A and B are shown apart, each in its own frame.
Chain A
Amino acid sequence: MSFLSLHIDAGRHAAFESHRHRPLRYDKAMRCWNVTDPAQVLHLLRSPALVCKEIAGPLAAVGERFGETFPNTEFLVRNMPLMNEGENHLPMRRRMAAFLAARRLPMQEPLRRMVAEHLAPLNAPGEYELVGTCLLPLVRSFFTELVRSSERVPFRQVTITRIFDRYLSLDMLRQVEAEVTELRSIVARGCPDAVAAGEEDMYVGLFTLGRDSLLATMAESLAMTLGAHLGKPLNQVGFADHPNETGVAIAERVAAQPISVGGAEIKTGDWVRLFLQSLNYSERLVVQKLVFGAGAHSCLGRQLSLDIWPLVTAQFAALPWRVAAVDRDYLKNHTFAMPAYVRIELTD
């Protein structure tokens, strides 16, 4: 089983369990430490010894090497809290947290309406592809409403978050640049007041990380829960009160100072790949809702996700059907568990 694709492997739960308390090993081929023990992941997430990777420099180096420029991607990585550390990071994070907190209450009523509207296609038994039919349109409506955009955000299933991927190809980088360019033009047209107020960076950051995180987390949690209750009436499926899987499967960090963990000595400059998914597989950690991560870069959308999830699961639980089958696959992405599709069959 490769650590490159463990996060989308059907056997990952068993793998995380078997890795418990195992000494950490450095992966020469991936040139990083892979951490799958939840206690170690949590410890490292909270440690100031690990910092987010700096992307702007390598991005400029790639541009120089290949004679191309990625100005909009550079704009994005310079302005996203998750891609910044130190004195830049805290003001960015506070600003985004304040924005999301202020929007939480006004979002409640639209959220109920959106969930009802986008899950309505499931009102008859049949076979459905959940991502395209329900979840992507829901996420799209959610973000359009969140930023009060006059233009609906045309989310495609391309995964801009591959910018977090250390294994990005030049071609994929070009696609990311095209996506960020499109997002910036949408923000300019749909949210002119925000742009005039100097908030374009925050909006583009929200669209970038929030969309893939919310979509992937809902898809993963639904697929996992429904798949575990095949044949049961939906009103007897015990949906958790929060998403029980995270689409943000892996966080990559760099050691800013040496740190010891799991019998290993991580040196300054070493890459560390933290499997956030493993946090879901411990009772103690589930109680703490660590599906949203921990430490200085924990998920800012946590509260809004906790608002959406019960609305979605209540809608499912109200359906008079059973889930006869669940099938899913993933898009290529080495840090997110991005769903290509989640097909379900509902029977009476």
Chain B
Amino acid sequence: MEQFRNRIIATLASMDQISGDRLESLRASVDADADFVDLEMDSLTALDFCVGLEDAIGGAIEPADLVEHPSINALARHLAKTRGAPV
């Protein structure tokens, strides 16, 4: 799960659309199940994030996955459970 979480955070950190303040707060609270909703991503940014994450770990990630697994930790847990190790 740790590997997935690191890649999720790295993907978010690489996105211009996520502001520095939000990213800092995200980094500070990753252990506390920071919610994606707190990042206030619009739908295009969410799609950007999914495509970036697909590049980072392989396989398909849909914006709906961010709703069903609405935090970094929840998404990392889901990916770890369904995919094994990241590519």
Interface positions of A (Cβ within 8 A of B): 2, 4-5, 28-31, 58, 61-62, 65-66, 166-172, 334
Q: Nearest chain-B residue to A66 (Cβ)?
A: B51
Distance (whole angstroms) from the CB of B64 to the closest CB of chain A = 4
Residues of A within 8 A of B48 (CB): 65
Q: Do A61 and B44 touch across chains, with their CB atoms under 8 A apart?
A: yes
Q: Contacts A28-B37, A29-B70, A66-B51 given; indicate if A4 touches B44 (C-beta within 8 A).
A: no
Q: Do B70 and A169 touch across chains, with their CB atoms under 8 A apart?
A: no
Residues of B within 8 A of A172 (CB): 62
Task: Count A-B pairs with CB separation below 8 Å.
Answer: 45
Q: Does B50 contact A (CB under 8 A)?
A: yes
How many chain-B residues does the 8 Å CB contact rule pick out? 19
Residues of B within 8 A of A62 (CB): 44, 47
Q: Do A4 and B68 touch across chains, with their CB atoms under 8 A apart?
A: yes
Closest 6 interchain pairs by CB?
A: A167-B64, A169-B62, A167-B63, A29-B70, A28-B37, A29-B67
Residues of A within 8 A of B70 (CB): 29
Q: Which B13-50 residues sit within 8 Å CB-CB of chain A?
A: 35-37, 43-44, 47-48, 50
Question: Can you pick out 7 interface pairs between chain A and chain B where the beta carbons lie within 8 Å of each other?
Answer: A5-B68, A31-B37, A65-B48, A66-B51, A166-B63, A167-B63, A169-B60
Distance (whole angstroms) from the CB of A58 to the closest CB of chain B = 7
Q: Do A65 and B43 touch across chains, with their CB atoms under 8 A apart?
A: no
Which of A31, A58, A171 is the one whose CB lies under 8 Å from B44?
Answer: A58
Q: Do B67 and A170 touch across chains, with their CB atoms under 8 A apart?
A: no
Distance (whole angstroms) from the CB of A177 to the closest CB of chain B = 15
Q: Do A167 and B67 touch across chains, with their CB atoms under 8 A apart?
A: yes
Complex Cα spacing A66 to B48, Å: 9
Distance (whole angstroms) from the CB of B17 to the closest CB of chain A = 10
Q: Do B60 and A2 touch across chains, with their CB atoms under 8 A apart?
A: no
